[in-house]
Structure 1
Amino acid sequence: MHFRPAFIVVAASCLIATPASADETEDHIKTIRAQYAAIEAVGTKGEEIKFEAEGDPLSGTLTRFRKDGQMVKAVLSYTSGDHGGSDERFYYRDGKLFFIHVTDSSWKFGGKPASNGQPGTIDEVTEHRIYLHDGKVIRNLTKTASAESGEDLAKALAKAENKAPVDRERETAVLSHASALPGLKDAAAILKMME
């Protein structure tokens, strides 16, 4: 059986998802920001699970916040060694993930020595913002800054430009965490997820 080229083009176009228009994406982003603000304003008390790997410098907490019995927010905070850590914040509505905000921070020796003669340090922070609609990433923004003091770091981060991430590895890891978090029961399960 032979198909005409026009039929093949129409059939193939039905298999390719049509990207949302810029206006639709912006409308979704506005809705996500409003939902985020509503969750942050509630200030509910969370259930906390602490974890620490034996023989490995990984430790932290998972805190889940619920409203009307449903998880609306989860915060995974951890350090791996003594030179950095991460805070991963996940936001849910009706059981569906809609926003992720991650802050990865680290420090290293460098810069000017402190006034007491101790070596100076350089702090670095990278923020990731992942917006989701119907289970799909619609926007992923990353910004990075570094400075020799916390005050300067905050200013540098505020001025840093949001960019699309070059490396999708962090996004993949964070999305994996997001799918696992609701079902984690104890520290052992958290550590297994972190492997």
Structure 2
Amino acid sequence: MKKLILLPAVVLLFSCENKKNDSTEGKSSTDTLKTVSNKDSLDKNNSPQTVDEIKAEFTLLNNLLIAKKLDSTSFEYECNEVSGNVVYYTSNGELKSIKHFHGDSHFSSVENYYLKNGKPYFIFKDDMLWNFDGGTPEKPETKDNIEQQRIYIVNDKAIECLEKKYTIRSSSKNNPNPDNIQNVPSKNCSYSELQKTFEVLLKNKDKKGKSDCIL
């Protein structure tokens, strides 16, 4: 089963939907930090209230994740033919992020929840569906259909939702560069289904080892 690349790839999450507003996508974490205050906003009690504040909060948290400065616990689960893995990241006992991977033989999905005061302020979802796309039994060719969602949340409400879709073919020498694909506004800006998943993950944060179905 194919697997998606997880952190630190999420540092590329915030690509913008137009060329006028440069994004953090394609920049290193060090470059990104130059655009934000050096003061660690993770110590503040207030939650981000705008897209810009969400981006700044994300940048600080993601750099801690990349630097492995947060504590983590995890568990795995099996549900019919679906395998899952959940990782909880904490700082001084406070939950800061949840990473949820699940997949079967042809599909995989990664959900990254970024939290402030116990609630998500940003969710990044990266889905990949692959199938055979010609070739021979000895040398099969494959096609990966990638769909990403970026959801910005203020006061339990999605204020902006972006999506990006592209296809990667193993036989192609001219596959698209994901960094060059613009995010576009989602037609349905909601995270109700992901909110349900988040609540289930939150209830299971004390699990360890292996488990049966949780979803």
The normalised TM-score by structure 1 is 0.72
Q: Distance in 2 between matches of 1:151 and 1:138?
A: 38
2:74 aligned to which of 44, 48, 69:
48
Match of 2:87 among 35, 40, 63: 63
Cα distance change on mapping 1:75 and 1:33 into 2, 3 Å: same
- The answer to whether the aligner puts 1:173 opposite 2:196 as a matched pair is no
2:71 maps to a residue whose letter is K
Q: Which structure ranks higher in relative contact order (CA pairs < 8 Å, sequence separation ≥ 6)?
A: 2
Does the CA contact (< 8 Å) of 1:126 and 1:143 recur in 2? yes
Aligned to 1:146: 167
Runs of 4+ that moved beyond 4 A: 150-154
Does the aligned pair in 2 maintain the 1:123–1:153 contact within 8 Å? no
Residue of structure 2 in register with 1:8 after alignment: none
C-alpha change, 1:140 and 1:160, in structure 2 (3 Å) is same
Unaligned runs of 5+ in 2: 1-48
The SS at the match of 1:140 is: strand
CA distance in structure 1 between the partners assigned to 2:185 and 2:138 by the alignment: 40
Pair 30,65 (structure 1): closer, same or farther in 2 beyond 3 Å:
same
Contact 2:143 2:167 (8 Å CA) reproduced: yes
1:91-170 to structure 2, matched below 5 A, reads: 91-110=114-133, 113=135, 117-149=138-170, 155=177, 157-166=178-187
Distance 1:152 1:63, change over 3 A: farther
The match for 1:83 is 106
| Contact 1:77-1:88 at 8 Å conserved across structures | yes
Identical-residue share of aligned pairs (%): 19
Q: Decide whether the 8 Å contact of 1:145 with 1:153 is kept in 2.
A: no
**Aligned mates of 2:71, 2:174 — CA distance in 1:** 32
> What TM-score, normalized to structure 2?
0.66
CA deviations on 1:63-122 (whole Å, 9 max, x unpaired) are: 00001111000000111x2011001000101212100001001111115x37x9422111
CA RMSD after TM alignment: 2.5
Q: Could you tell me which amino acid in structure 1 is paired with residue 51 of structure 2?
A: I
Q: Which runs of 5 or more residues in structure 1 are unaligned?
A: 1-26
Can you list the C-alpha shifts for 1:28-71, whole angstroms capped at 9, x where unaligned?
11111111111111122310111112xx1111110000011110
CA distance in 1, matches of 2:153, 2:173: 32
Contact 1:49 1:63 in 2 (8 A): yes
SS in 1 for 2:50: helix
With over 3 angstroms needed to count, the CA separation of the structure-2 counterparts of 1:144 and 1:134, relative to structure 1, is: same
Pairing partner for 1:35 from 57, 77, 93: 57
Contact 2:160 2:189 in 1 (8 A): no
Equivalenced residue count is: 159
